[in-house]
Chains A and B, each alone.
Chain A
């Protein structure tokens, strides 16, 4: 049975970005264009290279970076078993892809919107910035540990105003948080929108700051996923009571199909 939501796509190329100690950790993976009718920034796909045998069962989730009429671009960091193997994908190799999955970031063209990215959390914002009809309303603060050329920052910076913060020592992190504090206050004052994606400790900080300034804020969460479609219940996050009325029982919602994007006040990141 062929189904356009689950297809085998050929790798066009897998381009390494930046270099750390002679090794590449970051890759732009370009795949053939899938036949989806539409997608939205913030959504993701599950990727499982066809060459993976049964020793590694799960596909891996990646944000959709860009879709053009020629290709689908994903941007990934080689952190573990799966992504390190993905680093050796070559043009002509085949990968199984299902999606687009999950919900997407709010897009209010006329609202001043602050994009907060931590590390590889920058990936979904490439698509956001490039599909936004009024990019002059967007501003980004980007915190990163690896050199800037490891990330697809250029492609964002050529479209919108942004600042990059290289964290090399503990004071740098404090300065970055301080900057986010001021920016969130500023955007909250204009009834703006704050969108964040990055590791959980970073999201926790953004959540606290947005609560402090009463900002309208969305967070894109990351968890381990097995199915990506809401079936295994392996990817849940604690949600507040007002989510339960949306058919989510018992205070935990699957990140893959109720998210990955949640309003900051709806999730409880303090545990789990």
Chain B
């Protein structure tokens, strides 16, 4: 069946199916090419890019937890220039949307990064990770302050040209809808939700934290109920498309996110269950739609009887 999704307000943009891969869990895509056909995916969101290369945090930087994992990778990446010259040409960007995920610590830097990416034909959209503390304003996370989140959105929009801008929301806030509405008003074209939940793990024998950084981001099936709640709240509060993220590990999970209002989803930690996970999920999702006799995804989306 046709699983193509048209997105309201974005007539020139669509995903051929609703299953994308989440930033930081699918590398630059090429790592997974031996395990499936990248072009069958709805889209790829690449590892978070910064202006300059970043070494990330010390080891250990990942730990397994019940139904999830903690990570404090610290956005290690080789910088936006090296992505454009070395990684992007290896991706089949003519056949599927490649979305750049960006990370910076002040609005000017966000704008500069966006300027570089906006010139690239191979980039379909820009996803903005607003989880960095704004050092200048005392360390509050951009993603936790509506005014600052809006400022980042405006800065990125100004430089993005005709590329859609997706703002990735953090669940580590009291009211996620306030931030969602603020970035919508500031011009965001789409929202993705959610990023990892702040968490930690400890070892009673060594008396050490499981991560060198002590605190990290929790992801995986453990966070799915939180993610569903956020997507439900956000999709009712805004008029722009929402991409659901958080603990998706089956075709049923994809439908759950669509039921509460998501237009598309991103698969993160489940890519570590097996490297062909996302490729299989696209097929399993299509089979599930047939089994459940769902022929119109748009009609199903947001149809929760609550």
Task: Tell me which of A3, A55, A56, A57 contacts B35 (CB under 8 A).
Answer: A3
Query: A229 an interface residue at 8 Å Cβ cutoff?
Result: yes
Annotate A42-84 by CB proximity to B: 1 below 8 A, 0 otherwise.
0000001000001111110000000000000000000001000
Q: Does B272 lie within 8 Å of A227, measured CB to CB?
A: yes
Query: B269 an interface residue at 8 Å Cβ cutoff?
Result: yes
Q: Does B64 lie within 8 Å of A57, measured CB to CB?
A: yes
Distance of A49 from chain B, by nearest CB (Å)? 12
Interface residues of A in 216-246 (CB under 8 A from B): 223-224, 226-237
Query: A205 an interface residue at 8 Å Cβ cutoff?
Result: no
Known contacts A3-B36, A6-B274, A58-B64; is-contact A232 B79 (Cβ 8 Å): no
Distance of A230 from chain B, by nearest CB (Å)? 5
Once the chains are docked, how many angstroms separate the CA of A244 from the CA of B85?
A: 16
Residue of B25, B273, B283 contacting most chain A CB atoms (<10 Å): B273
Query: A1 an interface residue at 8 Å Cβ cutoff?
Result: yes
Query: A125 an interface residue at 8 Å Cβ cutoff?
Result: no
Query: A251 an interface residue at 8 Å Cβ cutoff?
Result: yes
Task: Tell me which of A57, A233, A249 contacts B273 (CB under 8 A).
Answer: A57
- The interface residues of chain A lying within 8 Å CB-to-CB of B76 are 233, 236, 250, 252
Once the chains are docked, how many angstroms separate the CA of A96 from the CA of B27?
A: 21
- The interface residues of chain B lying within 8 Å CB-to-CB of A224 are 60, 62-63
Q: Does B276 lie within 8 Å of A6, measured CB to CB?
A: yes
Known contacts A1-B280, A233-B73, A234-B71; is-contact A57 B269 (Cβ 8 Å): yes
Q: Does B78 lie within 8 Å of A226, measured CB to CB?
A: no
Interface class of chain B by DSSP? loop
Interface class of chain A by DSSP? loop
Once the chains are docked, how many angstroms separate the CA of A229 from the CA of B280?
A: 18
Query: A272 an interface residue at 8 Å Cβ cutoff?
Result: yes
Task: Tell me which of B55, B63, B79, B212 contacts A252 (CB under 8 A).
Answer: B55
Q: Does B27 lie within 8 Å of A231, measured CB to CB?
A: yes
Task: Tell me which of A6, A226, A237, A249 contacts B82 (CB under 8 A).
Answer: A249
Task: Tell me which of A98, A233, A252, A271 contacts B275 (CB under 8 A).
Answer: A98
- The interface residues of chain A lying within 8 Å CB-to-CB of B60 are 223-224, 272
Task: Tell me which of B55, B273, B274 contacts A250 (CB under 8 A).
Answer: B55
Q: Does A57 lie within 8 Å of B220, measured CB to CB?
A: yes
Query: A257 an interface residue at 8 Å Cβ cutoff?
Result: yes
Annotate A171-210 by CB proximity to B: 1 below 8 A, 0 otherwise.
0000000000000000000000000000000000000000
Q: Does B69 lie within 8 Å of A226, measured CB to CB?
A: yes
Nearest B residue to A223, CB-CB: B59
Query: A247 an interface residue at 8 Å Cβ cutoff?
Result: yes
Once the chains are docked, how many angstroms separate the CA of A49 from the CA of B271?
A: 16
Nearest B residue to A252, CB-CB: B55
Query: A149 an interface residue at 8 Å Cβ cutoff?
Result: no
Residue of A6, A48, A233, A237 contacting most chain B CB atoms (<10 Å): A233
Annotate B179-214 by CB proximity to A: 1 below 8 A, 0 otherwise.
000000000000000000000000000000000100
Query: A5 an interface residue at 8 Å Cβ cutoff?
Result: yes
Q: Does B280 lie within 8 Å of A54, measured CB to CB?
A: no
Task: Tell me which of A1, A231, A235, A236 contacts B31 (CB under 8 A).
Answer: A231
Query: B54 an interface residue at 8 Å Cβ cutoff?
Result: yes
- The interface residues of chain B lying within 8 Å CB-to-CB of A56 are 64
Annotate A1-21 by CB proximity to B: 1 below 8 A, 0 otherwise.
101011000000000000000
Q: Does A57 lie within 8 Å of B69, measured CB to CB?
A: yes
Interface residues of B in 40-66 (CB under 8 A from A): 47, 53-56, 58-64, 66
Query: B77 an interface residue at 8 Å Cβ cutoff?
Result: yes
- The interface residues of chain B lying within 8 Å CB-to-CB of A233 are 24, 47, 56, 61, 73, 76
Once the chains are docked, how many angstroms separate the CA of A76 from the CA of B4?
A: 46
Nearest A residue to B58, CB-CB: A272
10 interchain residue pairs of minimum CB distance: A231-B27, A249-B78, A234-B62, A272-B59, A250-B55, A250-B53, A231-B31, A226-B272, A249-B53, A229-B31
Q: Hey, which bits of chain A sit against chain B, CB under 8 A?
A: 1, 3, 5-6, 48, 54-59, 81, 96, 98, 223-224, 226-237, 247, 249-252, 257, 271-272
Known interface pairs A5-B34, A55-B66, A233-B73; 13 further A-B residue pairs with C-beta atoms within 8 A, sorted by A's residue number: A1-B36, A55-B67, A57-B272, A58-B69, A98-B274, A98-B275, A227-B27, A229-B275, A231-B32, A232-B24, A236-B61, A247-B86, A250-B55
A-B contact pairs, 23 of them (CB 8 A): A1-B36, A1-B280, A3-B35, A3-B276, A6-B35, A54-B220, A55-B66, A57-B272, A58-B69, A98-B35, A224-B63, A227-B272, A231-B25, A231-B26, A231-B31, A233-B47, A233-B56, A234-B73, A236-B61, A236-B76, A237-B59, A250-B54, A252-B56
